[in-house]
Amino acid sequence: MQLGLVGLGKMGGNMAERVRRAGIEVIGYDRAPGARDVDSLEALVQALEAPRVVWVMVPSGEPTRATVRALGDLLSEGDVIVDGGNSKFTDDKVHAEQLAPKGIGYVDAGVSGGVWGLQNGYALMVGGSVEDVAKVQPVFDALKPPSPRDETGTEMPGAGFVHAGPVGAGHFAKMVHNGIEYAMMQAYGEGYELLAAADVIEDVPGVVASWTQGTVIRSWLLDLLVRALQEDPGLDKITGYAEDSGEGRWTVEQAIALAVPMPAIAASLFARFASRQEDSPTMKAVAALRSQFGGHAVQASIDTRGNNPVPEKPA
């Protein structure tokens, strides 16, 4: 089998290598020269034998939409496009409808594994028709982690891969996965901060590391927090500024649309917004209100010209 792969960044490059190690020929294209095998989408399509499978691994949004449109003009009936980026699931139906009149299949694949996927494998959540997914299955099998085995050594199928449903189901599943990830990271972060604030705890990294074995809160994310604390015990080398890549917002949007209560994930998303504020307008308003109704003291600020501090209001 052959695979055409568009996008050879951190994820795409490692995925290409893992697929090659499984004996599948990968022909890669990236806008940047270097690791690419061909220098255009046209050359990529020409290098593949029909029926072709082309996996798109570029940033979500317009870069992915433009790439899918371009491939739709180059591919033929029976070929399949796989969107493995973090696209919004609503884009998938649009792509599938655009490609259907040309007989080109479309599969959306939510991919989790990050920079560790080359070594550990990638968890895959897939949406599309049974026929289109079957055409890509050898690639999915190459990318996913090895199946775990039970106490008798018998392979336990299912782990690391799921055909979640029709087009859109893969990215919807990955969206929820990332929403859960937001909440888990927030919980670990809050626990870390409380440990660090308590005088009674003398070895914060050691406490966190002790949780990685035998406890109900152990996870790969916890292992990564231990790794981060080994590299920087006080996390002094980074600031508490956290971006979001969209999936948390989409998860909360769907929770609202479907009337599903999701307080933990919503709070973790809003915490990231708060992390980007050097001086919270909300808390300025709270401080002003406390001063107005109770005469409580407020912290001094810098005036709009950046000169002298504004005098504190008396308590």
Q: Which residues are catalytic?
A: 174, 181
Residue 38 DSSP one-character state:
B
Q: How far is CA 284 from the centre of its chain?
A: 33
Tell me how crowded residue 171 is: count the other CB atoms within 10 A of its CB.
29
Q: Where are the alpha helices (DSSP H) in 22-75?
A: 41-47, 62-74
3-state secondary structure (DSSP) of residue 202: coil
Question: What are the C-alpha distances in Å from 125 to residues 84, 138, 155, 167, 253?
Answer: 10, 15, 20, 11, 20
Q: Which of 171, 6, 24, 26 is nearest to 74 (CA)?
A: 6
CA end-to-end span of the chain:
76
The answer to whether 175 and 89 have CB atoms below 8 angstroms apart is yes
